[in-house]
C-alpha cells in the first residue's frame, strides 16, 4: 500500500467499493492507530479520512452491524482529543492498549468498567454480544509466541514433543498445559481475568501467561491444609510468620505456615523477559496463591517479597469479584508509590518485618553497622538479613551490609525447582 507523504496526505486512500477495499482500509486504519499521529500531520489527516470512508461503507453495505468496542473507544478518543497512551490507566499498560486497539485482545470486565466509568463510554457499546466459539478463540492465538523451548526444558511440556516440533502443532501441545491450570485457559490463556503488573517495562505476556499457568497447576496439585480465612493474618499472627526468618529452614517452613492458613505458596523460577519477583493469584476455585521466583537468591529479598504478596492476598484479593483485579505480578525493583495498592503492600511488608517505631529508635537507622543491624534483629525477633535489607533500601546503597543479607541461602532450600 502507498503510505503517502506530507504533500499528498490522502495518497492510497479511496472510496471503498468492495469488501476487499474495506479490509485493506481497515488494515491501514490499524497501522495508523499504532503510529498515533499528532493532530495536523499528514498521517492524522489520513486517519480522519479513513474513519469517514469506513463509516460510510459500513452504513451502506453492512446490515445491522454489531456494536464494535474498539470503534466506540476510538470515537470517544476523538471526542476528547485523547491519544492511545491516555488509555493506559484504563487498559493496563502500553502493550495492552496496542493490542486492544489492534483487535488482538478482548476487553476484560475490569477494562469495560474502567472505560465506562472513566471515559463515559456506554457499557453496551463495549460488550461484545457474542463470544466466538472456543475453536475460533484458539485459532487467533499466536501459540508459537509462547516460550515453548524453555517450557520443554523445564519439564512443563512432554519432552518427546521437542523433536517433532512445528508451529502448527503449538496449539495441540499448549492447550492441555493451560487446561491443567484452569479449564478456561485452554481456549484463552492470554485473555483471562484482569491482571495488575508492576514493572518498568511491559513484561512478555506470553511468558507471563505460561509462568502463571504453571503456578496455578502446582497450586492445584498441593492444596492448602485449611480453608482461607483473612483473620488468620492479623498482626499478631503475622509476627509468627516473620519470626521464622531466624531459622535456617525458614523459607520452607513459611510454606507450611501459609498452608495452615489456607494459602498455597509456590516457588517457580521466572521465565526470560519477565523480571518477576513474585505474584498473588487466585485459583479457579478462589484459593489464594502466593508465588515466588527467588530471582535474587537472598534472604532479605525472599522475606520482603513474601510479605508483599501476602498483603495483596489479604488486602486486595480477599473477597474480590470477577470484575476486580485477581492477579498481581510484581517486579519489586520498580518503586510502587504510583499505585496505592503497591504502596499499601510495600508498607505492609516493611511494617510486618520491622515495625516503624523500633526502626526509628534504632541505631542502625542512622549509623548502619553489622553490630547495630544484629542488635535490632534480636530486638524485633527477625533474621539480621531482614534488617540489612531494610538498611540497604532506606539508604539506597546496595553495597551496605552485604555479608548479612543471606546471599545464596534460599534457592538451595527448594531443590525441586529449576532456577536459571
Residue recorded with cell 498482626: 235
Q: 148 is written with which cell numbers?
A: 515453548
d(CA 91, CA 97): 6
pLDDT of residue 59: 66
pLDDT of residue 58: 67
Per 3-state DSSP, what percentage of the chain is helix, strand, and coil (rounded to 5)? 55, 5, 40
Domain ranges of the chain: 19-131, 230-420
- Give counts: helices (H), strands (E), the chain: 18, 5
pLDDT of residue 1: 37
pLDDT of residue 142: 77
Is 225 buried (19+), middle (13-18) or exposed (0-12) by CB count in 10 A?
Answer: exposed
The string of DSSP letters for 42-84 reads HHHHHHHHHHHHHHHHHHHH-SSPPP-HHHHHHHHHHHHT--G
Cβ(42)–Cβ(4) under 8 Å? yes
d(CA 249, CA 383): 12
Picking from 253, 259, 248, 257, the residue whose alpha carbon sits closest to that of residue 409 is: 248
Q: 368 is written with which cell numbers?
A: 548502619
Picking from 227, 231, 235, the residue whose alpha carbon sits closest to that of residue 356 is: 235
Backbone angles phi, psi at 373, to 5 degrees: -65, -45
Q: 160 is written with which cell numbers?
A: 518427546
pLDDT of residue 3: 38
The model carries a pTM of: 0.68
The string of DSSP letters for 245-262 reads GGSTTHHHHHHHHHHTTT
Regions of the chain short of the pLDDT cut 70 = 1-11, 34, 36, 58-67, 109, 123-124, 127-140, 159-168, 183-194, 202, 319-325, 336-337
**What percent of the chain clears pLDDT 70, i.e. is strictly above it?**
82
pLDDT of residue 339: 84
pLDDT of residue 106: 78
Amino acid at each position: 500500500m502507498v503510505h503517502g507523504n506530507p504533500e499528498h496526505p490522502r495518497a492510497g486512500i479511496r472510496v471503498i467499493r468492495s469488501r476487499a477495499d474495506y479490509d485493506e482500509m481497515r488494515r491501514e486504519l490499524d497501522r495508523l492507530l499504532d503510529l498515533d499521529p499528532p493532530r495536523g500531520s499528514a498521517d492524522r489527516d489520513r486517519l480522519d479520512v479513513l474513519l469517514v470512508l469506513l463509516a460510510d461503507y459500513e452504513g451502506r453495505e453492512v446490515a445491522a452491524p454489531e456494536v464494535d468496542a474498539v470503534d466506540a473507544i476510538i470515537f470517544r478518543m476523538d471526542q476528547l482529543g485523547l491519544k492511545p497512551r491516555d488509555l493506559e490507566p484504563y487498559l493496563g499498560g502500553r502493550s495492552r492498549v496496542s493490542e486492544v486497539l489492534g483487535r488482538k485482545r478482548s476487553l476484560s470486565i475490569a477494562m469495560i468498567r474502567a472505560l465506562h466509568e472513566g471515559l463515559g463510554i456506554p457499557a453496551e457499546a463495549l460488550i461484545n454480544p457474542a463470544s466466538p466459539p472456543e475453536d475460533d478463540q484458539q485459532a487467533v492465538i499466536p501459540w508459537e509466541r509462547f516460550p515453548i523451548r524453555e517450557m520443554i526444558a523445564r519439564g512443563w511440556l512432554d519432552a518427546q514433543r521437542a523433536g517433532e516440533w512445528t508451529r502448527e502443532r503449538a496449539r495441540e501441545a499448549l492447550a492441555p498445559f493451560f487446561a491443567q491450570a484452569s479449564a478456561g485457559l485452554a481456549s484463552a490463556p492470554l485473555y483471562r481475568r484482569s491482571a495488575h503488573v508492576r514493572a518498568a517495562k511491559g513484561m512478555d505476556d506470553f511468558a507471563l501467561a505460561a509462568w502463571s499457568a504453571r503456578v496455578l497447576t502446582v497450586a492445584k496439585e498441593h492444596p492448602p491444609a485449611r480453608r482461607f480465612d483473612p483473620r488468620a493474618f492479623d498482626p499478631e499472627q503475622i509476627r509468627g510468620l516473620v519470626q521464622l526468618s531466624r531459622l535456617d529452614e525458614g523459607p520452607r517452613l513459611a510454606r507450611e505456615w501459609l498452608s495452615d492458613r489456607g494459602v498455597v505458596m509456590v516457588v517457580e523460577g521466572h521465565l526470560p523477559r519477565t523480571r518477576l519477583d513474585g505474584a498473588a493469584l487466585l485459583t479457579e476455585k478462589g484459593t489464594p496463591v502466593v508465588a515466588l521466583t527467588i530471582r535474587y537468591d537472598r534472604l532479605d529479598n525472599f522475606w520482603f517479597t513474601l510479605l508483599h504478596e501476602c498483603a495483596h492476598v489479604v488486602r486486595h484479593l480477599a473477597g474480590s469479584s470477577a470484575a476486580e483485579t485477581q492477579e498481581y505480578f510484581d517486579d519489586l525493583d520498580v518503586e510502587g508509590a504510583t499505585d496505592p495498592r503497591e504502596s499499601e503492600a510495600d508498607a505492609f511488608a516493611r511494617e510486618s518485618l520491622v515495625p516503624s517505631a523500633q526502626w526509628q529508635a534504632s541505631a542502625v537507622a542512622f549509623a548502619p553497622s553489622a553490630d547495630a543491624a544484629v542488635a535490632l534483629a534480636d530486638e524485633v525477633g527477625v533474621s539480621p538479613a531482614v534488617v540489612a535489607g531494610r538498611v540497604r533500601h532506606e539508604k539506597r546503597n546496595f553495597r551496605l551490609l552485604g555479608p548479612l543479607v543471606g546471599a545464596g541461602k534460599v534457592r538451595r532450600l527448594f531443590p525441586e525447582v529449576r532456577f536459571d
